[in-house]
Amino acid sequence: MSSDYTRPDGDLFDPQERARVLDEVDAILGQVIDGRYEVISRLGQGGMGFVWEARDLVRDGLPVVLKTLRPELVDNEKTAERFTREAMASATMDHENVIRVLGHGVTRDYGAYYVMERLVGADLGRAMEALGGPLSVARTFEIATQVAAALGAAHARGIVHRDLKPENVFLADRGGREVVKVLDFGLARLLDSGDKLTETGAVIGTPRYMAPEQCQGEKADPRADVYSLGLVMHEMLTGQQPYRALGTYEILGKKMFEDMPAPSALERPVVLDARLEAFVMRCLARNPADRPADGARMLEELVALREAVLSAPTTVASSPPPRITAPPTLPSRPPMTSPVATPASRPPARRSRAGLFAALAAVAVLLALGGLGVGAYLLFGRPRVEPIPPPAPALAAPAPVAPPAPAPAGPRIEVTSEPAGAEVRTSDGRVLGVTPLPLRIGEDVADGASVEILLTGYAPRTIAVWADVPTAHVTLHAEP
- Active-site residue numbers? 163
Which residues does residue 160 pair with via DSSP β-bridges, in sequence order? 189
Q: How far apart are CA 323 and CA 303, in angstroms?
A: 45
Q: At 383, which amino acid appears? A: P
Q: At 416, which amino acid appears? A: T
Strands (DSSP E) found in 162-219:
169-174, 177-182, 189-190
Maximum separation of any 2 CA atoms in the chain, in Å = 141
Q: How far apart are CA 428 and CA 374, in angstroms?
A: 104
Q: How far apart are CA 281 and CA 291, in angstroms?
A: 9
- Closest Cα partner for 49 from 144, 183, 142, 140? 183
Which residues does residue 415 pair with via DSSP β-bridges, in sequence order? 437, 472
Residue 416 · residue 451 · CB < 8 Å: no
What 3-state class would DSSP assign to 437? strand
Residue 213 · residue 289 · CB < 8 Å: no
Phi, then psi, of 166 in degrees rounded to 5? -55, -35
How far lies 59's CA from each of 54, 55, 474, in Å?
A: 12, 8, 20
Peptide bond into 400 cis (omega under 30): no
Which residues does residue 463 pair with via DSSP β-bridges, in sequence order? 451
Q: How far apart are CA 54 and CA 73, in angstroms?
A: 22
What 3-state class would DSSP assign to 357? helix
Residue 448 · residue 463 · CB < 8 Å: no
Q: How far apart are CA 170 and CA 160, in angstroms?
A: 18
Q: How far apart are CA 472 and CA 444, in angstroms?
A: 15
